[in-house]
Structure 1
């Protein structure tokens, strides 16, 4: 009897499956939504842009009030979405709504980066794409570059560039801060600050109250080995474990302000707290704020934006960016 069932080659339950014919089925994630010239709720305008043949982004511009429209430059936020490096998108409903809300409150121009996803494009593809996007934003500070966007050139303040992200996006933001500190950006542009919300860090050794039993079966562990199967050091690669023995010194973080947010009910909480402590002890000479939200889980402000906790979180992020 004939069957249409396809054979599964590999999977990351409950997130996605890869079939032997090469197709990938993502089991969770929010639908794509189009950009809007003026969001009816927030007044924020958004548009899609192409950064390189491999990298695109969605740009966000807050509603500008005359007479400051052409005079007051706005901070720039380079944002990296979450999703374990393998689901979600800069163009998906969850992150589009989240950006509209944050941009409206913070009055920043945001560049939400659409990086390539695993398993079709295993890491380090997402890191390379994110670096390309960060350098593209910095290149707008130069006079003789092409492929510029008018929202950035006309309204962006290149002395106030921030970056940030949630979960895997926060991991990317950390690694971009380390790389920008080591290599520098076009035009000598400096990153003023970065926020890491529920940052995705992990490692082979449980810390704090993390359970020892089943550590390698944990979804956080399995996700990294799935999205970066060739990572030297595996789960202790410095990009997922900033406390690994061969990780670059946190004193080299290339920004002067850090905002780290953790949630009480999040499995990643203790890693985020340890990260903040390790940065403070590294000799890094910037300003760091650790903000913990009680009674909430992983990326609560993205998943349930209508709650009071989520609104408080977005207001704190907006205050940091202002």
Structure 2
């Protein structure tokens, strides 16, 4: 049926928008239901609504003590701000593996996507979700409290983490948390940025300078944030741009940046690690680089040797 409809705009191979307003995402992973108790890992999951337009999938590891307190990870999926889902098969499988390894309570956020909701919608949704999670540290709030967070959340060990666009969101949250207070005065202890989606108009390192504006990485940004001040050098996509917030103001204590040798975004992630280190920020920042792998390989192949190793490394970061 879609073949007979008029195309209004498209970002191939990711998204096609039709004249009637419908949006087709051709490479999305199918959605899967949550699991009351995963038979392999014992991890339980369920879906909840945070606001009328923000939802999430919660994950709880298998526990033996009904009063056990766990680190809390607010997680953000990848997909270039225009594809992907917290409810997808790929993310469900990956987050379940991470929860099983790290014994962390995860809130995997379903933020709004472009083009129906252009940026900064995803940023605002992510901040609102983080504030909602932090609200559970203060039980006299007016929100509808989520029992898993109230019973098992240790809000002195709050983490944020994400893949690709989700890693970009983690940067946004860490910068914002450096100047704005979270509910209950909760502090972000740490964050991981896995294969973070950063870019800019001028190449760095081994990045190619040819046809830069036609690069899919660049075209995605123009598609999801057409009104971005500075375009591809907006501080949210280019943390090194003139006028970008100082990385010295990052609002957490620990950062882990993960990159892969074959990933086109590798140089930006490595530069981000170095820039944070040189900024005067007083926290601890680490870089993990996986040889021979490409963008977010561990989400697509969590059972490969390198996939298992990186998930173990992320789990170790959360458990420290």
Show the counterpart of 1:308: 305
Deviation at 1:4? 6.5
**Within 2, Cα distance between the matches of 1:48 and 1:12?**
30
**Within 1, Cα distance between the matches of 2:261 and 2:242?**
28
Show the counterpart of 1:282: 279
**Within 2, Cα distance between the matches of 1:40 and 1:73?**
23
Deviation at 1:315? 0.2
Show the counterpart of 2:175: 178
**Within 2, Cα distance between the matches of 1:122 and 1:41?**
38
**Within 2, Cα distance between the matches of 1:251 and 1:40?**
44
Show the counterpart of 1:101: 97
Show the counterpart of 2:41: 42
Root-mean-square deviation (CA), in Å? 1.0
Show the counterpart of 2:150: 153
Show the counterpart of 1:237: 234
Deviation at 1:143? 2.3
Q: Per-residue CA shift, 1:160-181, capped at 9, x if unaligned?
A: 0000000000000110010111
Show the counterpart of 1:168: 165
Q: Per-residue CA shift, 1:239-258, capped at 9, x if unaligned?
A: 10000111100011110000
Deviation at 1:109? 0.2
Show the counterpart of 2:247: 250
1:37-186 matches, cutoff 5 A: 37-65=36-64, 68-70=65-67, 72-145=68-141, 146-186=143-183
**Normalised by the size of structure 2, how large is the TM-score?**
0.98
**Within 2, Cα distance between the matches of 1:4 and 1:56?**
32
**Within 2, Cα distance between the matches of 1:254 and 1:6?**
47
**Within 1, Cα distance between the matches of 2:92 and 2:303?**
15
- Which sections of structure 2, spanning at least 5 residues, go unmatched? none
Deviation at 1:40? 1.1
**Within 2, Cα distance between the matches of 1:275 and 1:115?**
24
Q: Per-residue CA shift, 1:261-316, capped at 9, x if unaligned?
A: 00000000000000000000111010111000000000000011111000000000
- Which sections of structure 1, spanning at least 5 residues, go unmatched? none
Show the counterpart of 1:10: 9
Which stretch of structure 1 is more off in the superposition, 267-276 or 20-29? 20-29
**Within 1, Cα distance between the matches of 2:40 and 2:224?**
36
**Within 1, Cα distance between the matches of 2:177 and 2:276?**
16
SS at match of 1:318: helix
**Normalised by the size of structure 1, how large is the TM-score?**
0.97
**Within 2, Cα distance between the matches of 1:4 and 1:265?**
35
Show the counterpart of 1:29: 28
**Within 2, Cα distance between the matches of 1:283 and 1:171?**
21
SS at match of 1:274: helix
**Within 2, Cα distance between the matches of 1:69 and 1:274?**
43
**Within 1, Cα distance between the matches of 2:243 and 2:86?**
32
Deviation at 1:229? 0.3
The alignment of Structure 1 onto Structure 2 pairs a total of residues equal to 317
Deviation at 1:5? 1.1
SS at match of 1:275: helix
Show the counterpart of 2:196: 199
